[in-house]
Amino acid sequence: MTGKKALVLDRWRPNRTMTASRPAAALLAAGLAAWLAGCTSDLPNRVGSGLVDDDLDQSLIQLLAADVTTCRPLAVQDPAVPVHRQQVLYLGEQEGTRSRILANYDFADIGDETHPHTLFTAANIRSVKLSLTKLSHYGDLTRITAGGDTVALDLYYEIRQLTAPFDSTLYAGYPGALPPTGTTILNQDANVPTPGNEPFLRLFESDFLAWVDAGAVVGLEISLGAASDRALVGYAARELLRYSELDDVAVGTVVAPNFVVEFEDNSIVNFLLPPVADTSTFHEVGAPPAGATDGILLRTCLRSYPAFDFDFSALPDDVLINRAVLRLTNDRDVAFGNDEAVVVAEIDSTKLAAAAALPLAEMTAACYVITGQASLDPTVSRHLEFDVTTLVQRLVNDVYAGPRAIVLAAGEDAFPNYDLAAVDPDFYFTEFRFLGTAAADSLRPRLQITYSRRSERLGGAE
């Protein structure tokens, strides 16, 4: 190769080309132009076809591995963030999940320098309200009326007193329990919907003053009345750190469920009493499908990540995998929540067989990320496709000694290419509902593999 290159370079050395006569140069240019014209105007033909594999398309075969042999929900738990330490409180019901808000308030030694204890009398107090702060995402929730109009959700709030303050340590996981309450509704506006992202629920001053006089810890339950539209709505908890997920609030605002006391004397600033503990109850949680027939659920907040295998028995031996695409169809009519990533990872199946739940750190450490998509809206995203060629190639080539499964997960910190949201998956309650194997052929989960026979690609005989 070195000699040939030298020979070519010799032909174009300046002392041989730049000193050529003008007639010779003109003749050379004319010949070159004619040759180029011939190249651009000749009809297509098979000249040079023997230099490439022009029969490649004929050796590519598609295989639809549409049968999911196993599918199991994997509960993923983060011990560092139990339910009562989550940044969001959930209220309402949607797709089989129901939750109320519990909050404890300490009335011992109530008051401060601006609000001495003697100030809390019926004569001095104008109003007492319980304030909630809805996450901005949930302020945009709407419904379609019978007449076809789009309107904001109607939410009827009800506040009851717990018979005793709740124990937050009992709400580390889910489902939780509903502690006993009195039957009396404490807020005066329970029979009308309260709009807005900062609902103020007016209480009876007499109840508040009784709690002040008792000087004890009081527990409250906040629920949605039966007339409310069906939705699971998120509000700021006392643990909230991501204020960017709220609409703008005034400086000094307590965003957790808090008492707001207004005084008859307008010169006295409002008194705010935050909770000493709060939690979502999640007393009912929709169970993920036990198998792939009824669908595949991916849920955040109370993490449930699906793991499944495909049947590769129809794949011949000794093949080359050209491409493998995982196709899933999300049922937008029942999916809900905020934007979230969907990550496709592979995991050792023995990890899944050992337990139905895994700590978050153990789960992410056992996963090898293949691909994913970020910022998917579960109410908009329909058909999803993921290139899993590398996974199928490893399986076909017997890279692994043990079985491998596919896991669909959210954008966890351990998956940096897809951890693009400002909050972790424990923040928003989001559900993707992928159709299962009972759906129509075009909608069911499928792994479409394009392969070629090794003998046809590399030559030889069978």
pLDDT in tens, 192-239: 999 999 999 999 999 999 999 999 999 999 999 999 999 999 999 999
Mean pLDDT across 313-325: 90
Q: Are residues 353 and 400 in the same domain?
A: yes
Q: Are residues 70 and 108 in the same domain?
A: no
Q: Which of 333, 330, 298, 308 is nearest to 428 (CA)?
A: 298
Q: Are residues 386 and 260 in the same domain?
A: no
Mean pLDDT, the chain, whole residue set: 88
Q: In the prediction, which pLDDT does 9 show?
A: 27
Residue 462 counted as domain residue: no
Residue 242 counted as domain residue: yes
Q: In the prediction, which pLDDT does 14 show?
A: 36
Q: What is the 3-state secondary structure (H, E, C) of the chain?
A: CHHHHHHHHHHCCHHHHCCCCHHHHHHHHHHHHHHHHHHHHCCCCCCCHHHCCCCHHHHEEEEEECCEEEEEEEEEECCCCCHHHCCEEEEEEECCEEECEEEEEECCCCCCCCCCHHHCCCCCEEEEEEECCECHHHHCCEEECCCCCEEECCCCEEEEEECCCCCHHHHCCCCCCCCCECCCCCECCCCCCCCCCCCEEEECHHHHHHHHHHCCEEEEEEEECCCCCCCEEEEECCCCCCHHHCCCCCCCCCCCCEEEEEECCCCCCCEEECCCEEEECCCECCCCCCCCCCCEEEECCCCEEEEEEECCCCCCCCEEEEEEEEEEEECCCCCECCCEEEEEEEEEHHHHHHCCEEEHHHHHHHEEEEEEEEEECCCCCCEEEEECHHHHHHHHCCCCCCCEEEEEECCCCCCCCCCCCCCCCCCCCCEEEECCCCCCCCCCCEEEEEEEEHHHHHCCCC
Residue 83 counted as domain residue: no
pLDDT tens digits for range 402-432: 888 999 999 999 999 999 999 999 999 999 9
Q: Are residues 343 and 259 in the same domain?
A: no
Residue 135 has pLDDT above 80, yes or no: yes
Q: What strands, in cross-sheet order, belong to the sheet with 446-453?
A: 60-65, 446-453, 319-329, 383-387
Q: Are residues 113 and 208 in the same domain?
A: yes
Could you tell me what percent of the chain has a pLDDT over 70? 86
Residue 303 counted as domain residue: yes
Position 322 confidence tier, pLDDT thresholds 50, 70, 90: very high
Residue 42 counted as domain residue: no
Last residue of a domain, one of 233, 261, 280: 280
Last residue of a domain, one of 253, 280, 307: 280
Q: In the prediction, which pLDDT does 458 show?
A: 59
Using only C-alpha atoms, what is the Rg of the chain? 33
Residue 314 has pLDDT above 90, yes or no: no
Q: In the prediction, which pLDDT does 19 show?
A: 36
Residue 184 counted as domain residue: yes
Last residue of a domain, one of 280, 306, 335: 280
Mean pLDDT across 329-343: 97
Q: Are residues 204 and 338 in the same domain?
A: no
pLDDT tens digits for range 234-290: 999 999 999 999 999 988 899 999 999 999 999 999 999 999 999 999 999 999 998
Note if the pTM is more than 0.75.
Answer: yes
Q: In the prediction, which pLDDT does 264 show?
A: 97
Residue 46 has pLDDT above 70, yes or no: no
Q: In the prediction, which pLDDT does 36 show?
A: 44
Q: Are residues 222 and 306 in the same domain?
A: no
Q: Are residues 387 and 449 in the same domain?
A: yes
Residue 68 counted as domain residue: yes
Q: Are residues 273 and 320 in the same domain?
A: no
Residue 11 counted as domain residue: no
Total structural domains in the chain?
A: 2
Q: In the prediction, which pLDDT does 8 show?
A: 31
Q: Per-residue b/e over 216-244, b at no fewer than 16 CB within 10 Å?
A: ebbbbbbbbeeebbebbbbbbbbebeeee
- What tokens were used for 291? 């198998």
Residue type, 260: V
Q: Are residues 308 and 437 in the same domain?
A: yes
Q: Residue 392: which CATH number?
A: 2.60.120
Position 63 confidence tier, pLDDT thresholds 50, 70, 90: confident
Residue 434 is part of which domain span?
A: 59-78+289-457
Q: Are residues 234 and 308 in the same domain?
A: no
Q: Are residues 407 and 262 in the same domain?
A: no
